[in-house]
Structures are given as C-alpha cells and as structure tokens.
Chains A and B, each alone.
Chain A
Amino acid sequence: MYKNAQRLFEEGQDEQAAAELRPFLEETGRERATLHQKPPAEQSNRDKELRRVYTRLLAGGHNFLGLIAARHERFDEAARQFTEVRNLQSNFPDVDFNLGLALFSARQFSEALGPFERARQRNPSNIKIKKYTGLTDVETGQYEKGITLLENVREQEPDDLHVLLALGTALARNNRLEESKQVFEELLKAQPESADSHILWGQVFAAQLQSREAEVEFRRAVELDPKVASAHFFLGVLHLKAGKLEEAEGDFSAELAGHPGDASARYHLAFAQLAQQKTDQAIPLLREVVAEQPNYAEARYSLGKALLQQEDVAGAIENLEAATRLDARKSYSHYQLAHAYQRAGHNEEAQKEFKITHELERAEKSATAHERERIP
C-alpha cells in the first residue's frame, strides 16, 4: 500500500496517492499504539524493532501527505503533516526545511524561523536553506542577519528575484539606502513587463515607502491580469497603512474573491473590518482563520480582542492566552490579555500580564523612532 502510494505520488497522481496513504497511516498508527501500550518490561526486541519500523513508515507517510498538500498550495495542511513527521522522527530527512518552507509559504514567518535554523545547523552550507532563512529573517524584521545570509546567497545565485527583493528591502530598512537602490536597479533591469513584474516593482516601491508609486504598479498589475495573485492584497496593505480602511477592506475582499484559500487575505480583511468597528463581520472571518491556522498568533490576538469587545471574556482569554504562548514577545497580546483577566476579575493574572507588558514596552524604547507596529 505504501509502495503503491509512493508510485502514485511520483506519477503525480496526488489524490489517489493520498487515498492510498490515509488508511495505511490509520492502520499503522493503531499497530504502533498497541505496541506503545505494553509496559516496557514486557516489550521484546522484536516489538522494539517493529515500533521503529512503524514510526519510520508513519513519518514517511505523513511526509508524502505534506508534499502533496504543498504541491497543491495547501500550506497549512502541509505544515501540519510535516510537524507530525517531526514529532515522529526528528531526524527525518529534510523535515525541518520542509516544515519551514510550508510555514513560510503560509506566511507564518515567525513560526518558520525555528525549523529553518535547525535545518541550517544540520546543513550550514546548503544554499537553499540559507536563502529561506534569510528571507524569513527579513520578513520578521531581523534585517542585519537577513542581509548577511542573502548577500552570501546572491554571490552564488545573482539572478534570484526573491533574494534581490528581500535584500533590497532589508538594506532600505537598515538605512543602507545607496546599496538598497543598487540592488533594486539590478532587480528591475532583469524583469520583462508582466502582471507579476508590476507586483514586484510595487513591492520595491513599497519597501522604499513610496506608496504612491507602489499603488500605480499594483493597479497596473490588476489591469494586465485581473486575477493575478497578491495585487489586491498589497493594495489593501497600502491603504491600511494610510488609514484608508474602507478601501483596504475592498482590496482584501477582492483578493479573497480571486483566491479564497488565502488565509492571510482573510485575516487582513478581518483586521480592516475591526478597525472600522465591524466586529460582527470580523469575528466569523477570524474564527475561520484560526480554525485553519491555530498557530497564527496575530489572528488569535485579533480574535481575542474582538471577543473582548463583545464581552465574551472567556473566549477572549482563550485566544489571547494562545496568542501570548505563540509569540511571547508581543506586548500588545499581553496587554489585551491583562485587560481580559481584569474584566474576568482575575486580578493576580492581570497584574502579571501588565508587568510583562511594561517590561516589553521598556525594551521597545530603544527601537526606531516613531514607527507604529500593529498594522499587520
């Protein structure tokens, strides 16, 4: 059954491969659990060997399911499968990189960093791992580290557009403006006109905080290909940053209409609605996002905050506790959780969270001047 599934996967018959794998994994999982239930003293060498085999088979099976999900851009599902693989067998080949890549593709950048770093420790010279670790560093605001890695990647792969875009952005954010400009010029020269190239140019302008120019590029992309992915999304982000909430809502809705599986667009749509006090509309969207991506800290935070506004204190606490667990560095999650505890009369817990908020806020005091953080 396993071999058959492997063959089907290699032939690109993903649905059939998955259909073969699922009952196999269920059966194998049961067998393994039975072995697990035996007290250690009663386990024979054969049992132990069998357990190892089952574990390897289960890990392999989940890895196939992860690869299938990734091939179909179901990145949350892929991340779940690769997490399962890692739980079963932490040294499974490429599991950390695959997990990181799935999380990265699902735009869960903070979560992707750990797997990529583990992969890099195992294989420090691998250029692909270096590239994605660098891209993730830039997405999570660790510009200096990102620049070091991406410059190294660029030496070996000078035409990689993603690397150039991230490197240019990181240099701009780190105030190395001349170097950033050079990277962007190089990037633009290499691009023929297409909807995708306009999205790329738009991102370049956005990275340099030239919103008007970025907007022109994203709009041109939509003109060339109304269904192009991400154009409406980036327009929405621009509008959100400019405080144009209704426009942002329209953009994220348009992105979602063309790409209903885009959880990030769904989250951003909910964010824009929350900012307009459309809490009733935002909550169901956020619930969907959280159901799809239970580890999406920002979505957990926003859902918790929205529920608190609706006086659902228990629901708020559940989601805000999850948000603080998932990303303990965000002072706003602790702050909102403190208020939720305060509302519930849990004063001791509230004080503890206020204290954490205060400590994180103090650490923030030395950050870049006057740049607001909460816009996703």
Chain B
Amino acid sequence: MTSRALFLLCALVFTSQFTKGQTMTSPAEPEQRVTFTDITDSAGIKFRHNSAPEKKYIVESMSGGVALFDYDNDSCLDIYFTNALTVETFDAPQSSRSALYHNNCDGTFTDVTEKSGLAYPGWAHGVVAADFDGDGYEDLYVTCLGHNHLYHNNGDGTFTDITARAGVDDTRWSTGAAVADYDKDGALDLFVSNYVEIELSKLPEFGKSKTCQYRGVPVQCGPKGLPGAGDSLFHNKGDGTFTNVSREAGVSDPEGRFGLGAVWTDVDGDGWLDLLVANDATGNYLYRNNHNGTFTEMGLQAGISLDEDGVPLGSMGITVGDYLHSGWLGIFVTNFSGEHATLYRHDKPALFTDVSYPSRVAPVSTPYVGWGTGFFDYDNDGWPDLIAVNGHVYPQMENASVGTTYRQRVLLFHNQHDGTFAEVAVNSGEALVVPRVSRGVALGDIDNDGYIDVLINNLDGKPTILRNDGASRNNWITIKTVGRGMNRDAIGARVKVVSGDLVQWDEVHAGGSYLSSNDPRLHYGLGKKYKVDLIEIHWPDDKVELIKDVPANRFLTIEEQKGIIRTALPTVKK
C-alpha cells in the first residue's frame, strides 16, 4: 500500500469514530477466552437433590428443576431448587426438601427455605417464576408427581400455597411449566406439560420387558410402553382464579405424548404467543395461536416435530433464540443419547428447517442425554451461544461400554456468527468438563457483573453454580421490562436492540429449558460497541416503544409508556 493510500485510510477511520450517530468501537484488543468457575461451595449452597441410586423406575430419573428469580426485589437473583422423593420414600414427603436460597448480593447465598414455606411441595420436578397477580412480587409454580403448587409471594419473604383457591392443580405427573398471556386479556396464563400416567403401586418391573432394555442392558421401563399423560392450560380469569381450558383450547394432548420442556414464543410474528412443547420419544408440538383462545397443532407442518429424517426424538429441554440475527427465533432441543440435539432454523413465519448437522451441533451431542438448555451470549460478543447440560437416565450405563456413560459433561456451543457453532466446553474452565448427572439449568447474571452465569440442578447430589469470569471484556446491556396491568413482567414482550451493525431480538419468557426458569431480564452482548443506538420494545399489548442512544454496560429497567425508570451499573466492573 502506498503512503498516500495509508494516509487516506487513517483519515477515514478517524472520521468514522467521531461522526455523530455512529456507534463507537473500542480499539482492537485480543479477546480473552471466557471461563466458568464452580462456586457452589463458596456461595454457601448446601442443597442436595435426592435420587434412588439404582433408578429402577422412571419416576426416579427425571426431577431437578431450578428457578432464578428475585423474590424480594433487591435486584439480586435468588434461587429455588426442586427436590424429589423416591418410590421408597413416597409416603414420607418431608424426607425431601426443596430449597430457596436468598442472594446476599456479595457472592454468597443464605438458605431461607424454612421461613419461605417452600420446603416440601412433594415429589417436585419443575418450577416457573412469574408474577401471576401483578402485585410486583414473583410467585412460584412447582410441578410435581402428584399435586402441583402455586405459591403466592407475600412480599415479606414468605409464600402461601394458593393452588386450590386458584384452581391450578394437576394431579398427574407434571413436568414443564410455562407462563404467558396467550389471549391478550392482560393476565398471565399457565401451561403445564405432563409426562406419563403412572401408578406407584403398579410400577413396571425393572428390565423385564422389551421397553426396559437399552442396548441390551436391563434398565428402568419407559416412557415407551407406558401410557402418556395429557397436558393442561389454565386460563387466568384476572381475579386470582384460573379455569382449565386445555380441551377447548386444543392443547390437551389427547394422544398422550410424553411432555417435558415447554416455552411460549411467537413463531409467526403476528404478536400472539404460540406454544412449543418438547415431547420425549414422540413428536414435539407447535401450537399456533388462532387469536380466539384456541390453537392449531402444526409441529409436523412447521418442521419442528421430528428431526430432518422424520424421526421423533427423545426431547427433554427446549429454548429459542435469535442466533442468526434474522429477527426470527430459532429453536434448540436437547434429546436422548444415540440421537443428537436438534437446532431448527427459523426460515419463514412458522416454518423451520432442521440444521443440526450443518450447524455442527449434531455430531458432538450424539452420545449425550441432553436436558436443560438455553441460548445465552456468554462472552457478550453479540451472538447468542448455547448450553446443554447432560446426564443419562440409566446408572447401568456407567460401566456398560455401549458408547455412552451415566455421568456426562456440559456442552457449550460458541456461535461462530455464520450459522454454525463450535463446541468449546473443554476450553472454558475445568468446571464444565466434570461429568455430572444434570437435569435443569437456569441462566442469569447472579452477581450482576454483566456476564451470564449458569445454575444446574443435578439429579444425584449437589447442584452446580458456574460463575462466568467475563474475561472477554465485551460490552453488554441488560433490560428488565415492566408491563402495565397484571402482566408486570411483560412476559411475551419482544425487544430489538440495535448497536451499529448488531441487530438482536429477544423475547421475555417465563419457563423453558428443562423444567426451569431463567433470569427474566433480557441480556444482549454488544462486542466492542460502547453504546446502544436503539431499543425497540414490542409490548404484549402491541404498543411499540423506542429508546435511543443508551450507553453500554448498564442494567436498565424500562416500564411501558414511561421509558427507562432505573439504570444501574454492574456490581463487579470488568
């Protein structure tokens, strides 16, 4: 290059950095690799999940949800872990204690379960946090084998079980739960997926029939060979009570597929929330919202029910994310071993293509039984990455030499910005490669440092808290949406964040992953960009609000029609 050309280029760069309205970028620095550290013990988490060691019955293999939510509005995320009984201890519900941990906002947590009244929901599986009555405090819904529970947050650190009064019980084997205002009446409704119909007094005998063998090894029976349980949709009447409208709405699952993870999302951009349900060993459901209180199931037609070869997979967890920056949220589903995790690219309204192989998530995930999952931009480069936590259902796999193992590590997929992902767990901290038997995962910024952390509930024993060290030093913005009326969380709001050439969409969810509930705040990595040019919020009541020119690295609280009502800086400055 001639010296003249070099001079012109320098001038151009100089000019662009100081042109009004342009997004500034920091000078190029070598990007550090983000790592995760297991801080479970130092954070003071003593919770232990119960499980029968041999897992002779399928009911002993599926529990382990986790919720990240701020129950006391101190802006620090608290944790709720569900816990399970066993066939042996079923008659002694107090032998298994679920747990609520209060975040002390200093890197430690305090067990406040006893005071909260959340200790003994029974044989608990999943959990979702949402402010059902719009009083400004997050409530909890816990799914169980047996009675489910809606716990009303009293605002003073205690909760009251209002299940019966609210009319949201489901006595079957409930698993996933997801919350949204599907009919735009302003009140949050509740979907509950159920797994199989099972009677503890008539459990199928371990290893005895064709459906109780895996690769020639005798194992627990099911779900194939067992009758599936239907699902429930509870419509919120806005007066503290709900009506079960599953059948009228067309989401009751009369076929009895084996329902697990569920998430509400708008798959066709019509502003009405549709529903995705991950079904184990049977096709997944996509219920498209007909705008009149009913839904049409169109998973097959939309291309998300089966894999690209038309095979139903053992689907467990489910998540959605704008991983291509197309504005259309793709779907990622975790599946059983011998299959592979599936990534569905969102091509057109309600039309997806299975891109598990082209995106490279398929081959590496084949030996794993995947559960909790989520799109999250762990290195804040502006592109949503993916996590899947794993662990087999059969302890008998540990020494069986059949190409899979019982304890399995985490899979962390880094978004390569071209539709493909690189699996990078081995380079992202030793804590990620420790084999565990994981189930639920919840994602959220527990230390408010602007980097998303990971909480895992493991089936056998202690959970795992993985702190993100934020080494990439990229910028970010976190948005808490506050809606009008009873949907205070603005669940279902779609938010576009524009920063120079980065255009990212996300949606406010309650429930997803595997039986878990993430930090409800929306988090956007910004790479080296120092500011956000535009925040465009499509509120659940269809109003659109624009906010311009916001500096990066802030926690924003945006209330509908009021704009930014609170700005907070990170607790730990990177």
Contact = CB atoms under 8 A, between A and B. Distances in A.
A340 B454 CA distance: 41
B88 interface: no
A177 B281 contact: no
Given A172-B216, A175-B210, A372-B339, A339 B309 contact: no
B310 A334 contact: yes
A291 interface: no
B366 to A, nearest CB: 4
Contacts of B309: 305, 332, 335-336, 374
Contacts of B362: 243
A224 interface: no
A354 interface: yes
Given A277-B357, A369-B214, A372-B338, A243 B366 contact: yes
A277 B314 contact: no
A370 B310 contact: no
A333 B213 CA distance: 28
A293 B262 CA distance: 44
Contacts of B282: 361, 365
A344 interface: no
A41 interface: no
Contacts of A350: 301
Nearest to A173: B216
Contacts of A334: 310
Contact of A354 (B214, B223, B301, B339): B301
B239 interface: no
Given A275-B357, A365-B281, A357 B300 contact: yes
Contacts of A275: 357, 363
Interface stretch (A115-123, A204-212, A229-237): A204-212
Interface in A353-374: 354, 357-358, 361-362, 364-374
Given A243-B367, A362-B255, A369-B225, A336 B310 contact: yes
Contact of B401 (A212, A371, A372): A212
A175 B218 CA distance: 9
A305 B307 CA distance: 13
B403 interface: yes
B224 A367 contact: yes
Nearest to A241: B403
B197 to A, nearest CB: 14
Nearest to B307: A374
B312 interface: yes
A338 B300 contact: yes
Contacts of A366: 211, 224-225
B340 interface: yes
A335 B338 CA distance: 21
B338 A370 contact: yes
A275 B211 CA distance: 29
A374 B311 contact: yes
A212 B401 CA distance: 8
Interface in A233-273: 241-243, 245
A278 to B, nearest CB: 11
Contacts of A277: 357-358
SS of B interface (majority) = loop
A90 interface: no
A365 B340 CA distance: 19
Contacts of A333: 310
Contacts of B211: 366, 368-369
Nearest to A334: B310
Contacts of B306: 332, 335, 357, 361
A255 B310 CA distance: 29
A364 B337 CA distance: 18
B402 interface: yes
B543 interface: no
Given A243-B367, A338-B300, A368-B213, A211 B402 contact: yes
B65 interface: no
A336 to B, nearest CB: 6
Interface residues of A, number: 44
Contact of B310 (A335, A367, A371): A335
Interface string A183-211: 00000000000000000000000001111
Nearest to A337: B310
Interface residues of B, number: 43
A163 to B, nearest CB: 21
Contacts of B225: 366, 369
A103 B494 CA distance: 58
A201 B337 CA distance: 26
Interface in B289-310: 300-301, 303, 306, 308-310
A335 B363 CA distance: 22
B283 interface: yes
Contacts of B311: 331-332, 372-374
B327 interface: no
B214 A370 contact: yes
Contacts of A365: 224, 228, 281-282
A276 interface: yes
Interface string B131-153: 00000000000000000000000
A361 B403 contact: no
A245 B312 contact: no
Contacts of A305: 308-309
A342 interface: yes
Contact of A177 (B216, B300, B364, B367): B216
Nearest to A244: B363
B339 A358 contact: no
Contacts of A335: 300, 306, 309-310
Contacts of B336: 370
B238 interface: no
B435 interface: no
A366 B216 CA distance: 18
Residue among B221, B312, B340 facing the most chain A CB atoms (10 A cut-off): B312
Nearest to A143: B210
B222 A357 contact: no
A371 B404 CA distance: 13
Contact of A369 (B228, B281, B310): B281
Contacts of A245: 363
Residue among A212, A305, A369 facing the most chain B CB atoms (10 A cut-off): A369
Residue among A172, A211, A364, A365 facing the most chain B CB atoms (10 A cut-off): A365
A145 to B, nearest CB: 15
B573 interface: no
A172 B339 CA distance: 22
Given A245-B363, A334-B310, A354 B338 contact: no
B4 interface: no
A177 B207 CA distance: 12
A208 B403 contact: no
B121 to A, nearest CB: 29
Given A332-B310, A370-B224, A372-B339, A358 B357 contact: no
A186 B212 CA distance: 28
B215 interface: yes
Contacts of B366: 242-243
Contacts of A336: 309-310
A361 B336 CA distance: 17
B310 A331 contact: yes
Interface in A291-338: 305, 331-336, 338
B301 A342 contact: yes
Interface string A54-72: 0000000000000000000
16 contacts: A209-B215, A242-B366, A243-B340, A245-B363, A275-B363, A277-B357, A331-B310, A332-B311, A365-B282, A368-B213, A369-B223, A369-B225, A371-B338, A372-B311, A372-B338, A374-B311
Given A242-B366, A243-B340, A338-B300, 6 more contacts: A243-B362, A243-B364, A245-B363, A354-B301, A362-B255, A373-B311
Interface of B: 210-216, 221-225, 228, 255, 281-283, 300-301, 303, 306, 308-314, 336-340, 357-358, 362-364, 366-367, 401-403
> 9 closest A-B pairs (Cβ-Cβ)?
A335-B310, A332-B310, A243-B366, A369-B224, A374-B309, A209-B215, A332-B309, A354-B300, A370-B336
